[in-house]
Amino acid sequence: MEALTDINWGIIVPFIIIQAILMIIALIDWVRVEKTNGPKLVWLFIILFITTFGPILYFIFGRRD
């Protein structure tokens, strides 16, 4: 438990908030879009399990315009 008290939460919390916002926006877009570049279910797993880069990859490569 001592390791948790040594963490500088003022630096880490903004990154956690940005990650959560990116994931929520990507999931909302994923639900609304009918077709993606590649299997839609694969993009869901990428968004959920590849932390910060998953939603970014989805917005760059997964969305079909």
Other C-beta atoms lying within 10 Å of the C-beta of residue 8: 7
Q: How far apart are CA 34 and CA 58, in angstroms?
A: 14
Residue 1 has pLDDT above 70, yes or no: no
At residue 41, the pLDDT reads 94
Residue 2 has pLDDT above 80, yes or no: no
Q: Which two tokens stand for residue 48?
A: 């959920």
- DSSP for 4-34 reads HHTS-HHHHHHHHHHHHHHHHHHHHHHHH-S
Question: What pTM does this model have?
Answer: 0.81
pLDDT band at 46 (very low <50, low <70, confident <90, very high): very high
Q: Which two tokens stand for residue 33?
A: 């879009």
